């Protein structure tokens, strides 16, 4: 019996690359789809855009399963870009699977699809709510999740959604790199002393959970799962751990959460009107995330996916420190 062919969208990113590598090492035939070649040894590259239905059909053709990670992930930018990539792109993936008679789809989403600006303390995955989610990214990912899950059980499709929360690891330029850079330059604030309790997820744990959802999809299709390390820590402790690993000073700037949220709202308006493509230093959504508790009950996730994270937060920070010794922070 030949190995299954699994398409991973967004494999050029840290998490997508880890998923593709995990599948490859287990013996699957892995195909990667993204705008630029992922260049992962042993993984077939197909380049194209999620916004082009023909590109997506070409990538999906012949695949037994799709793990859909590609998305516009940012804290700024016009809404139409998020809709084109996150919603229409997901629709193209679903339509391509339908056109070839079905298959399985692991839709990778975000806990922010159910974050309504209030604290989340010990909850399981609650329903995606595009009408009340905060920010373009969260709203479009919520709509994409509803679209994908609405296809479960139809036209030969089985669909499940996983929502990894704050994924980090060695080589991460999107989150850890930005936190370290801002801390080094003294521009990283702690809102409300950084005491909000949050969950995060080490990258290989997230990848293995996503692959577990792929393996278990016949039993768990139609369900959504939040993925975390299950080790809630304060924002201050998380940031300090990353800064210590990078050998940079810990954040010392303190700002009340209410001030941070107001400043984020003002900065967003300024960024909408100014030229350039850099991201704003603060947004209202980012301020909410930094000053509001969000940690999750992992019992159903671990039971249904038959998965347990193998790398602890402290072990992850040790891996991060080893990476920074090989790639020291420079001015």
Per-position DSSP letters for 126-172, written without gaps between them: PPP-TTT-SHHHHHHHHHHHHHHHHTTTSTTEEEEEEEE-SEE-TT-
Cβ contact 39:53 at 8 Å: no
Q: What percent of the chain has pLDDT over 90?
A: 73
pLDDT tens-digit series, residues 80-122: 999 999 999 999 999 999 999 999 999 999 999 998 778 899 9
Q: Residue 325 half-sphere exposure, CB side, CA atoms within 13 Å?
A: 6
Q: What is the pLDDT of residue 3?
A: 82
C-alpha distances out from residue 125 to 161, 257, 300, Å? 10, 26, 9
Cβ contact 9:50 at 8 Å: yes
What SS3 state is found at 118?
Answer: coil
Provide the 8-state DSSP code for 84: I
The first and second tokens of residue 216, run together, are 């278990």
What SS3 state is found at 254?
Answer: strand
3-state helix, strand, coil in the chain (%, to 5): 45, 20, 40
Cα–Cα nearest to 164, from 28, 13, 321: 13
The sign of the dihedral angle between the CA atoms of 322, 18, 16, 234 is negative
pLDDT confidence band for 264 (50 / 70 / 90) = low
pLDDT confidence band for 283 (50 / 70 / 90) = low
Q: How many CB atoms lie under 10 A from the CB of residue 100? A: 14
Q: Residue 166: pLDDT above 70?
A: yes
Dist CA 141 CA 21 (whole Å)? 25
Identify the residue whose tokens are 């850079």: 181
Cβ contact 297:285 at 8 Å: no
Active-site residue list: 137
Provide the 8-state DSSP code for 83: I
Which of 3.40.720.10, 3.10.129.10, 3.40.50.720, 3.40.50.300 would CATH assign to domain 5-165+201-228+296-311?
Answer: 3.40.50.720
Q: Residue 40: pLDDT above 80?
A: yes
What SS3 state is found at 122?
Answer: strand
First to last CA, the chain: 53
Cα–Cα nearest to 266, from 249, 283, 289: 283
Dist CA 218 CA 176 (whole Å)? 35
Region for 27 from its dihedrals, namely left if φ exceeds 0, alpha if ψ lies in -120 to 50, beta otherwise: left
pLDDT tens-digit series, residues 5-14: 999 999 999 9
Mean pLDDT within 230-237: 96
The strand order across the sheet containing 103-108 reads 44-47, 29-34, 5-9, 65-68, 103-108, 157-164, 224-227
Q: What is the pLDDT of residue 266?
A: 73
Query: Which is higher by pLDDT, 274 or 118?
Result: 118
The sign of the dihedral angle between the CA atoms of 9, 11, 14, 17 is positive
The sign of the dihedral angle between the CA atoms of 310, 315, 317, 321 is negative
């Amino acid at each position: 019996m030949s190995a299954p062919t699994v398409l991973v969208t967004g494999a050029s990113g840290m998490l997508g690359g880890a998923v593709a590598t995990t599948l490859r090492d287990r013996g699957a035939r892995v195909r990667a789809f993204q705008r630029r070649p992922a260049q992962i040894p042993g993984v077939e590259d197909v380049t194209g855009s999620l916004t082009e239905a023909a590109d997506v059909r070409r990538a999906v053709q012949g695949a037994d399963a799709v793990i859909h990670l590609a998305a516009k992930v940012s804290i700024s930018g016009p809404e139409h870009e998020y809709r084109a990539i996150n919603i229409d792109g997901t629709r193209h993936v679903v339509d391509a699977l339908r056109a070839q008679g079905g298959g399985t789809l692991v839709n990778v989403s975000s806990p922010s699809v159910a974050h309504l600006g209030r604290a989340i303390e010990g909850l399981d995955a609650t329903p995606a709510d595009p009408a009340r989610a905060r920010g373009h990214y969260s709203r479009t990912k919520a709509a994409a999740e509803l679209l994908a899950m609405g296809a479960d059980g139809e036209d030969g499709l089985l669909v499940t959604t996983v929502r990894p929360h704050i994924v980090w690891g060695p080589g991460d330029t999107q989150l850890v790199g930005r936190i370290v850079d801002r801390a080094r330059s003294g521009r990283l604030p702690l809102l409300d002393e950084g005491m909000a309790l949050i969950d995060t997820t080490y990258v290989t744990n997230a990848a293995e959970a996503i692959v577990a959802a792929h393996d278990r999809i016949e039993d768990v299709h139609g369900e959504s799962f939040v993925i975390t390390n299950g080790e809630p820590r304060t924002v201050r402790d998380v940031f300090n751990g990353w800064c210590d690993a990078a050998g940079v000073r810990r954040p010392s700037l303190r700002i009340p959460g209410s001030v941070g949220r107001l400043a984020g709202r003002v900065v967003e308006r300024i960024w909408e009107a100014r030229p350039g493509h850099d991201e704003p230093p603060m947004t209202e959504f980012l301020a909410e995330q930094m000053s509001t508790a969000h940690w999750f009950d992992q019992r159903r996730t671990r039971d249904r996916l038959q998965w347990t994270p193998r790398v602890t937060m402290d072990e992850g920070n040790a891996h991060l420190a080893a990476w920074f010794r090989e790639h020291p922070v420079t001015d």
